[in-house]
Amino acid sequence: MPNTYRIYTSKEKPTLGGTRIKTRKRNIAAPLDPSTFADAVVQIYLDNAGDLVAFTGGRTQPGTTKPDEGERHPFSIIDCEPKREAILPSVIYIQKILRRRPFLIKNLENVMRKFLQSLELFEENERKKLAIFTALAFSQKLSGLPLDTVFQPLLKDNLVAKGIVLSFITDFFKEYLIDNSLDDLVSFLKRGKMEDNLLDFFPSSKRSVEAFSEHFTKAGLVPLVEYHEKKIFEVKLKEMKSALTTQIAEETDISEVIETVKQHVKDAKLPDIEVVRILWDVIMDAVQWSGKNQQQNANAALRQVKMWANLLNTFCTSGKLELELLYKVQVQCYEDAKLMKLFPDIVRALYDQDVLAEDTILYWFRKGTNPKGRQAFVKSMERFVKWLEEAEEEE
């Protein structure tokens, strides 16, 4: 820090009578010493009639020893109770000041950054107060501080490893959710580029979905836990779908594809129904469609079904899963115009390849509950179902 600061003044030049006096500004160096600074702070305090909100904290330079500072300023937020009702009035006061003096917003943002970068310099109780203040600052929209500059300084390895970050962010989330919904918090996290990286707040030894659920459930943030589990689940599904899409497009040996699915199911604990849905999606996504040529589209789709029938067979291991696959086919054919007329052909191909059992098809025909295109599809299946029923009677 320089030991002087500059102030501007003026000095009159000698002039002839009747001539307008002109001034010239020049710099005068003045010593920047503790007493001068203290006098300036006192004057600001007096000018505001004693109504001054201030942060005061610990060390001012990294690596120095925290001195005996005596009593803190009675208006310090750090000196408040670590409660919302104690800190909120100061936040409201700052808000009023910023409305009258918007140029001070940048000062607030700079101060907030510095505090977040220096959490280790504060005691646990003080960090809680800072977390409450930070959450209230964003709830009250005190600044336009980019959220990535809020979260990124927290992710210093030493802060994370000590659990300081996790404690701070937990208090932050709890306070923020008092005034805002979970959707607001999710949007907040997206803007801060942390939506997919919440585990980064945990020490590396505790960086797991299970630890996340346990910690935030204990903190009373069950909706956040449910959101995170859903997010992780969606990521795992996406990863499996991406891997299968590549393998099926390259016509990888079916045994290798089956092993890929099994590994993803084991690692991510994916439910059987989701696996069946994804398998059908990636198989049909790989079909080479031929525009409006109905016959070529039919041939391409049926060829794909026959090629990967054993893959479907491996994971359609019950009547319930077969019915789920049939519903998936129904919805896709209803929503995709080029597949609308192919529904009975696809179902017949799945039957011929032993993917769908006779009982599953008959149950769908008589008691199916998905309404999408059902009336038209039932009618298109009448001839095939009649054949199944006659075969059933003969047996």
Q: Is the dihedral of CA 38, 44, 47, 50 positive or negative?
A: negative
Which of 178, 193, 208 is the endpoint of a domain?
193
Are 276 and 390 in the same domain? yes
Q: Is residue 188 in a domain?
A: yes
With 0-12 / 13-18 / 19 or more C-beta atoms within 10 angstroms meaning exposed / middle / buried, residue 119 is buried
Q: Is residue 363 in a domain?
A: yes
Which of 193, 213, 230 is the endpoint of a domain?
193
Domain count, the chain: 2
Report the pLDDT value the prediction gives residue 153, as an integer from 0 to 100.
73
pLDDT score of 53 more than 50? no
Domain that holds residue 136: 49-55+72-193
Q: Is residue 146 in a domain?
A: yes
Report the pLDDT value the prediction gives residue 116, as an integer from 0 to 100.
82
Phi, psi of 194 (to 5 degrees): -120, 5
Of 139-143, 307-311, 386-390, where does the model show the most confidence? 307-311
Q: Is residue 330 in a domain?
A: yes
pLDDT score of 111 more than 50? yes
Report the pLDDT value the prediction gives residue 275, as an integer from 0 to 100.
93
Tens of pLDDT, residues 262-272: 999 988 888 99
pLDDT score of 23 more than 80? no
> What average pLDDT is seen over the chain?
81
CATH number, position 321? 1.25.40.180
Q: Is residue 262 in a domain?
A: no
**11-36: average pLDDT:** 50
Instruction: Provide the pLDDT confidence category of residue 62 given band limits of 50, 70 and 90.
Output: very low
Spatial separation of the C-alpha atoms in residues 218 and 209, rounded to whole Å: 14
Cα dist. 99→91, 102, 261, 263 in Å? 12, 6, 57, 57
Are 182 and 279 in the same domain? no
Which of 193, 226, 243 is the endpoint of a domain?
193
Report the pLDDT value the prediction gives residue 194, as an integer from 0 to 100.
81
Query: Which residue's entry shows tokens 């980064």?
Result: 200
Q: In the numeric block, which tokens belong to residue 345?
A: 């052909």
Tens of pLDDT, residues 347-377: 999 999 999 999 999 999 999 999 999 999 9
pLDDT score of 333 more than 50? yes
Q: Is residue 207 in a domain?
A: no
Tens of pLDDT, residues 70-108: 454 455 778 888 899 999 888 888 888 888 888 888 888
pLDDT score of 42 more than 70? no
Spatial separation of the C-alpha atoms in residues 22 and 239, rounded to whole Å: 75
Q: Is residue 130 in a domain?
A: yes
Tens of pLDDT, residues 253-297: 999 999 999 999 988 888 999 999 999 999 999 988 776 777 888
Q: Is residue 173 in a domain?
A: yes
User: What is the 3-state secondary structure of the chain?
Assistant: CCCEEEEEEEEECCCCCCCCCCEEEEEEEEECCHHHHHHHHHHHHHHCCCCCCECCCCCCCCCCCCCCCCCCCCCEHHHCCCCHHHHHHHHHHHHHHHHHCHHHHHHHHHHHHHHHHCHHHCCHHHHHHHHHHHHHHHHCCCCCCCCHHHHHHHHCHHHHHCCHHHHHHHHHHHHHHHHCCHHHHHHHHHHCCCCCCHHHHCCHHHCCHHHHHHHHHHCCCHHHHHHHHHHHHHHHHHHHHHHHHHHHHCCCCHHHHHHHHHHHHHHHCCCHHHHHHHHHHHHHHCCCCCCCCHHHHHHHHHHHHHHCHHHHHHHCCCHHHHHHHHHHHHHHHHHCHHHHHHHHHHHHHHHHCCCCCHHHHHHHHHHCCCCCCHHHHHHHCHHHHHHHHHHHHHC
Are 177 and 276 in the same domain? no
